[in-house]
């Protein structure tokens, strides 16, 4: 999990946004629209990052009612919850860049 997280957060252009999404989801499950609003990001950008995180077993999704995607709720995967300290290590070591970006969108 550690190498995967490092790649997803520190090794790619979208890493800061992915880290902010993970940090937001640690508090409570959310849908993509709510995440986009909270982080002042485009909805399609958030959906892309959620897809990447889901494909890498960092977040999981639960559809509710409709198939249009808007009701889909995202939360941290059990695997990430088990390895959350690894995320915190990355958050701390990669933190300056993440914290600057997060400060713009608390």
pLDDT of residue 96: 67
**Domain of residue 56, residue span:** 2-104
pLDDT of residue 39: 96
Look at the chain and report how many structural domains it folds into: 1
pLDDT for 51 equals 96
User: What does the alpha-carbon distance between residue 87 and residue 83 come to, in Å, rounded to a whole number?
Assistant: 7
- Is 105 a residue whose pLDDT tops 60? no
pLDDT tops 80 at residue 106: no
How do residues 3-17 score in pLDDT, each as one tens digit?
Answer: 888 889 888 888 989
d(CA 98, CA 67) in angstroms, rounded, equals 33
* Long-range CB contacts for residues 94-100, cutoff 8 Å, separation at least 24: 94/9, 94/10, 94/15, 94/19, 97/16, 98/9, 98/16, 98/19, 98/20
CATH number at residue 17: 1.10.10.10
pTM for the full predicted model: 0.82
β-strand partners of 59: 76
**Cα separation of 26 and 81, whole Å?**
9
The reported pLDDT for the residue numbered 93 is 81
Q: pLDDT digit string (tens) for 29-76? A: 999 999 999 999 999 999 999 999 999 999 999 976 655 566 899 999
Report pLDDT for 12: 80
């Amino acid at each position: 999990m550690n190498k995967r997280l490092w790649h997803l957060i520190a090794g790619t252009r979208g890493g800061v946004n992915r880290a902010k999404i993970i940090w937001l989801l640690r508090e409570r499950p959310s849908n993509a629209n709510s995440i986009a609003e909270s982080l002042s990001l485009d909805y399609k950008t958030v959906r892309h990052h959620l897809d990447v995180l889901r494909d890498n077993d960092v977040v999981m999704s639960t559809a509710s009612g409709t198939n249009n995607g808007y009701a889909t709720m995202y939360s941290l995967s059990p695997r990430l919850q088990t390895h959350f300290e690894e995320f915190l290590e990355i958050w701390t070591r990669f933190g300056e860049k993440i914290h600057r970006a997060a400060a713009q969108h608390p």
